[in-house]
Chain A
Amino acid sequence: MTDVFLPELGEGIDKATVSYWYFREGQVVKEGEDLVEVSTDKATFNIPAPAGGLLAEILIQEGDTVNSGEPLAIIDESQAAEAEKDESV
């Protein structure tokens, strides 16, 4: 399991609003793919998936705020291979 965290966006920015999820729970993401967009007052910022796998749980919904160091989602790497196998059938 890998948690997706809000990265350091700059000095004095300690929170952001989740503005767009590119994937839904249960979908498979590849490492580095844009997973979620967060917004500060005047900027949007895409957070890439830190690992490939199943998007097991979205912890912060669109419109809600996430603080620095707080997890946004959980990726289950162990299910990635299974999901890919299913897709190829």
Chain B
Amino acid sequence: MKQPKTFPAYRVVDLGRIDFLSALAIQKKILQEVIQRASSDTIIFCEHPATITLGRLAREDNILAKRDLLNDLGIPVVDIDRGGDVTLHSWGQLVVYPIFNLVNHGRDLKKFLFNLEQVVIDFLQYFGIKGERRMGFTGVWIGNKKIASIGIGVRKWVTFHGIAININNDLDYFSFIRPCGMDVEMTSLNKICGREVGLGEAEKIMANCFKQIFYFKDGGSHD
């Protein structure tokens, strides 16, 4: 009798430093593999050079910088198919793309976004920092400053896009946009933590937080 294919509960793919569109192409390839059940849930870690992305319902006027300036600085503006408004990536920001089959985690977008916030809150807890949610605004805050932005896309109940959390990136870039369409000040882990945290260390801790939230707490079944 033919045995069904089995996969580990999840795998981690580290793309390192990669431009936004190249990473998006890899995301979409893995998305198709997970949809076709040719791959297990996958967590992609990477960092991007300075890039502004506009979510599906983003308002163009939430980009505050002149397009000429962005062109001169070589900062692309990319329209993408995730939820949420405008965001900005740059070196030193940890970008996390969880490509998860929500059939195994409850078909509930709100619960999934809540769990992504919890991953970030647990991650910050490891560094002794209290991260908080804000009612009605997905993302994670430290006091009145925002540290992580979240926006996802879902195709056939498989997620893509995800979390951008500031680790040791240059926060001045955020003056080019109104992050998530809000007048909010951004902060980073290094700024709060008072010590240098590298992306490698951050990835390991984040991966463990994902494991705790999605594979031990939500009781999902996995192929």
Contact = CB atoms under 8 A, between A and B. Distances in A.
B16 interface: no
Contacts of A42: 83-84, 113, 138, 150-152
B154 interface: yes
Of the listed residues B83, B150, B154, the one surrounded by the most CB atoms of chain A closer than 10 A to its CB is: B83
A19 interface: yes
Given A10-B107, A43-B109, A43-B153, A37 B81 contact: yes
Interface of A: 8-13, 17, 19-20, 34, 37, 39-46, 48
B89 interface: no
A24 B57 CA distance: 20
Contacts of A12: 110
Interface of B: 55-57, 81-84, 107-113, 138, 150-156
Contacts of A13: 109-110
B34 to A, nearest CB: 14
B111 A41 contact: no
Given A11-B108, A48-B156, A37 B84 contact: no
Contacts, number: 62
A39 B57 contact: yes
Contact of A45 (B57, B84, B109): B109
B153 A44 contact: yes
A69 B199 CA distance: 44
7 nearest CB pairs, A to B? A10-B108, A43-B83, A10-B110, A42-B138, A42-B83, A10-B109, A19-B56
